[in-house]
Amino acid sequence: MIAVLDYGIGNLRSAQKALQRVGADARLVDDPDEVAGADGIVLPGVGAFGRCAAALESSGLGDVARDAVSRGLPFLGICVGFQLLYEGSEEDPSAAGLGVLSGTVRRLPEGVKHPQMQWNTLDIGRSELLAGVPDPAWVYFVHSYAPEATDDTTSTCDYGGPVVATAERGPVWGSQFHPEKSGTVGLGILANFVAAVDASIGAPTAAGG
């Protein structure tokens, strides 16, 4: 089972339906206790970083997300959900992210329209999340901020310069674009995540389970 964390932000059902379309048992979950039996976690997010961070913590799902990462469960953050994996954001310096990935979320470069609301192509490095996607891979972005580039960055797009599009650290994956809105390419990306969840079932967790 893949738990799509429902912390009251945005339309999460589109992510759930896209995961179901590629064969996952994906469920919207708003009760921290119901996440205990999940095999994988998806953290979507739209809107402002600070509002999403506050909602995630007040729902009790912030601790659930951290626990899932510590147990080595496959974890996918999407859009602001991806940004929440980092330590913080320039959009709201008073709001703390989950701190799962090192770095800060930065405003997109000056000289381009904010937000980036368009299809764009990916410059892909070594990536499990993006395995098998076509070249060029067209995906759909809606954002004004993106994480800064670090060793975890696995792809970028060109928008006034290189902008981080995906990152990976072990079983933690993140996508700044919306795979659920990116047609067949996006479905292929979600299928890669579902395959990673399937492969992890029965494997020892980070806690030695």
Name the active-site residue from 52, 79, 91, 157. 79
Q: What is the DSSP string of 85-154?
A: TSSEETT-TTSB---SS-SEEEEPPTTS-SSEEEEEE-EE-S-STTTT--SS-EEEEEESEEEPP-TTEE
> 79 an active-site residue?
yes
Q: Among this protein's residues, is 128 annotated catalytic?
A: no
- Indicate which residue of 52, 143, 157, 180 is catalytic: 180
Spell out the residues 6+ positions from residue 150 whose beta carbon is closer than 8 angstroms to its own.
101, 102, 103, 167
Residue 80 backbone zone (phi > 0: left; psi -120 to 50: alpha; other: beta): alpha
Q: Is 157 a catalytic residue?
A: no
As to burial, measured by CB atoms within 10 angstroms (0-12 exposed, 13-18 middle, 19+ buried), residue 150 is middle
Helices 13-21 and 183-200, packing angle to 10 deg: 80
CB 61 within 8 A of CB 74: no
Contact 106, 144 (CB under 8 A): no
Q: Which residues are catalytic?
A: 79, 178, 180
